[in-house]
Each structure stands twice: as structure tokens, then as C-alpha cells.
């Protein structure tokens, strides 16, 4: 099962510019930001996108004009400000949301909750009103809380479909693949490591026992590698020294997930990605596991599968934090009630 989870970097790159085509409108909410611009660029390259709708509160027209000069089929349109948000979303089949403020040194993802929670609530409300059947791919941190927020907003509008709301955790898989390749000398394009749980600190659980090709590490190396994967976002935040967080790698990971989803929506079989979704696979109501994607979103949740003793321990240790983050998101009732009145 896990051997099919992550496509190689070579196949992912090809999918951005393959010959297959579809007529799909994709909207990026937060398109002018550090993640939004490179993410939009990668989506512009995909033949699976026929209309690329870009929305932000500033500078979107310039970003759209810039991207529109690229010689690919996607027609790019920019929208600025709340009054143009409905038009940006009308007819969208996939909505990717990187909107929000980035982390700074010393901040955790959870520190972003106050600002980013209200942003996600507002955007989810707009999606519910203007494209209620769209696939929604949430990048905005803290993902462990923003996915429950968006889900509750959609539920209050009566349009919630758990098979169509995804927390994009793909960057954790991308990092795990890269770090394993660095240690082993393998080609990172051929390394596949599933990552389960959530998308913050110890809730990020790399299933290194199911890496393909199979790898062996000492206990110390395995512990350090797991910790590095969990703390990789902080590694970037520190390296940028106040200039932002992981933008380019997140844009790549977000585009990878969106293209996988588009592939599946267009009938490609066997598309598997990990994502943070509504789940019945464990003690948490939301959990990231490998998902078989299809025309209507999640076709089948493939669950955790067999874990090593260390991985089982890591899952158990992550549950309290994950449950608290989910409850925090679901508890944003006052904001939800205000937005839906």
C-alpha cells in the first residue's frame, strides 16, 4: 500500500507539463503571497488547469498579468479585495488556500491561530456560498486547526462533504523523501516516505518503516531523522531570520497535491497522497493518512497500516496535542455563527 503513496519527483514534474488536458477552473486564495505566487506559477504550467483564478487583498492584478504571459493554456484572471471574492470563486472546481500570515522566528504554527483562523473562516464561508462542491485544499497554518474550522463553516451552510476538504501535509512527505535520500545516497526522486498524523511538531509522524525503497537506520539516526522531519519548518524559519517561512518548498508541495487531485478527478487511477482529513481511522476526528483519490475526492482512506513500535509510540504521544488543536478549530463557533447569519 505505502509503496504507491508518493509519486517520484520525475513523474510529478512531468505532470505539471504533460500532454493530457482538462477544462478545470482552479482558484488560489492568497495568490500574491510568498507561497501563492510560486504555487500559481506551477499551476499555470499544468495542462490540467484551463482557468486559473487568483485572489488576494493586494497586488493580484500584477501577479495575474505576469503569469498570463506564460505560454501555457490556462487563462489567468486576477481579483482583488472582498467585493471580488465571489467572482473569483464562481465555477471553481478546486480551491487552494495558502492565505494567511507566515511564521517568524520563535513562533509555532499554533501561534498563527488568532489571525489565520479568521482568514480561513472568511474564505471557507465564501467557498460555501459560491462554489459549494469544490475541492478545498488548505495550506494555511495551523492546518491541524484550520481544516476543522473550514469544515465547520461548510457544515453550517449545509454543504460540507468530508471527501472534498483536505489539509495539505505534502511538504512533510517531500521533506522526508529528501532527508532520507541525503542520508542514504539514494535518488530523492525514487524515495517514498508516508507521513501520518498532523502538520505540526510531534504530530508529524514519518512512517520510515514503510519507506520505499526499504532503508535501515540505527536507533539514534532514526530518532534524529524523525526529529528533523518534525522540526523542518522551524529550520527554514530560522534560516530566513525573520524574512519568512517555507514558501518555495510549500508551493512545490501544494502544487504536487493539487495536480494529484486533478489527475484523479480526471479519471487517473491509483492516485494516492497523504492529507489531513475527517477520519474514522483512529481516536482523532481528523488525521492524515494515505488516501486513494478519485473523481469525487477521497475514494478510500487507506488508514495507518502496520507501524513499527517507535511509530506506534509517536502516534500515541501525538494524540493529545492533535485533539486539542482540532477542538480549538471546531470551537470557533462565535466566528462561524457571525459569518453564517
User: Taking Cα atoms as reference points, which of 70, 108, 97 lies closest to residue 254?
Assistant: 97
CATH number of the domain where residue 99 is located: 3.40.50.720
Query: Does 334 fall in a domain?
Result: no
- pLDDT tens per residue, the chain (341 residues)? 444 444 444 444 445 554 467 789 999 999 999 999 999 999 999 999 999 999 999 999 999 999 999 999 999 999 999 999 999 999 999 999 999 987 778 777 778 888 899 999 999 999 999 999 999 999 999 999 999 999 999 999 999 999 999 999 999 999 999 999 999 999 999 999 999 999 999 999 999 999 999 999 999 999 999 999 999 999 999 999 988 899 999 999 999 999 999 999 999 999 999 999 999 888 999 999 999 999 999 999 999 999 999 999 999 999 999 999 999 999 875 544 544 44
User: Taking Cα atoms as reference points, which of 275, 262, 87 lies closest to residue 168?
Assistant: 275
Active site residue 199: yes
226 and 162 fall within a common domain: no
Active-site residue, from 157, 190, 199, 296: 199
Tell me what pLDDT residue 337 has: 54
Tell me what pLDDT residue 307 has: 96
22 and 103 fall within a common domain: yes
Of the CA atoms within 13 Å of residue 144, those in its CB half-sphere come to 27
For the entire predicted model, the pTM comes to: 0.92
What DSSP state is assigned to residue 47?
A: T
126 and 237 fall within a common domain: no
Tell me what pLDDT residue 242 has: 86
Query: Does 11 fall in a domain?
Result: no
- Decide the pairing of beta strands 286-294 and 297-301: antiparallel
Helix ranges restricted to H, the chain: 9-15, 36-45, 60-68, 85-89, 113-130, 143-156, 170-184, 219-230, 232-240, 248-265, 309-330, 333-340
93 and 33 fall within a common domain: yes
Q: Are 257 and 272 in contact (CB under 8 A)?
A: no
Q: What is the DSSP string of 180-217?
A: HHHHH---GGG-B--EEE-SSGGGEEE-GGG-BS----
190 and 241 fall within a common domain: yes
Specify the 3-state DSSP secondary structure of 54: strand
- Separation of alpha carbons 97 and 79, rounded Å: 15
139 and 236 fall within a common domain: no
Tell me what pLDDT residue 111 has: 83
Range of the domain at 233: 170-325
32 and 150 fall within a common domain: yes
Amino acid at each position: 500500500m505505502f509503496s504507491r503513496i508518493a509519486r517520484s519527483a520525475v513523474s510529478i514534474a512531468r505532470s505539471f507539463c504533460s500532454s493530457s488536458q482538462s477544462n478545470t477552473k482552479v482558484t488560489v486564495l492568497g495568490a500574491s503571497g510568498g507561497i501563492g505566487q510560486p504555487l500559481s506559477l506551477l499551476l499555470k504550467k499544468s495542462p490540467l488547469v484551463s482557468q486559473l483564478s487568483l485572489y488576494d487583498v493586494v497586488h493580484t492584478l500584477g501577479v495575474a498579468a505576469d503569469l498570463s504571459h506564460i505560454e501555457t493554456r490556462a487563462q489567468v484572471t486576477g481579483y482583488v479585495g472582498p467585493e471580488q471574492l465571489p467572482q473569483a470563486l464562481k465555477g471553481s472546481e478546486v480551491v487552494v488556500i495558502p492565505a494567511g500570515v507566515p511564521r517568524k522566528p520563535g513562533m509555532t504554527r499554533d501561534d498563527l491561530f488568532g489571525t489565520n483562523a479568521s482568514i480561513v473562516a472568511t474564505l471557507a464561508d465564501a467557498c460555501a456560498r459560491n462554489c459549494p462542491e469544490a475541492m478545498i485544499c488548505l495550506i494555511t497554518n495551523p492546518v491541524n486547526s484550520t481544516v476543522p474550522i473550514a469544515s465547520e463553516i461548510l457544515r453550517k451552510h449545509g454543504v460540507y462533504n468530508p471527501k472534498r476538504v483536505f489539509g495539505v501535509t505534502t511538504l512533510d512527505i517531500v521533506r522526508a523523501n529528501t532527508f532520507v535520500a541525503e542520508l542514504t545516497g539514494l535518488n530523492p526522486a525514487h524515495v517514498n516516505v508516508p507521513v501520518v498524523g498532523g502538520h505540526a511538531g510531534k504530530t508529524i509522524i514519518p512512517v520510515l518503516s514503510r519507506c520505499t525503497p526499504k532503508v535501515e537506520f540505527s536507533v539514534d539516526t532514526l530518532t534524529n531523522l524523525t526529529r528533523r522531519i518534525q522540526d523542518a519548518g522551524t529550520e527554514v524559519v530560522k534560516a530566513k531570520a525573520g524574512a519568512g517561512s517555507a514558501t518555495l518548498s510549500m508551493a512545490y508541495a501544494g502544487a504536487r497535491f493539487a495536480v494529484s487531485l486533478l489527475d484523479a478527478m480526471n479519471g487517473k487511477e491509483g492516485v494516492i497522497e497523504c492529507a489531513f482529513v475527517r477520519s474514522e481511522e483512529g481516536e482523532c476526528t481528523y488525521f492524515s493518512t494515505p488516501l486513494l483519490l478519485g473523481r469525487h475526492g477521497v475514494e478510500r482512506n487507506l488508514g495507518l497500516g502496520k507501524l513499527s513500535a517507535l511509530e506506534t509510540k509517536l502516534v500515541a504521544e501525538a494524540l493529545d496535542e492533535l485533539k486539542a488543536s482540532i477542538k480549538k478549530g471546531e470551537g470557533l463557533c462565535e466566528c462561524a455563527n457571525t459569518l453564517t447569519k
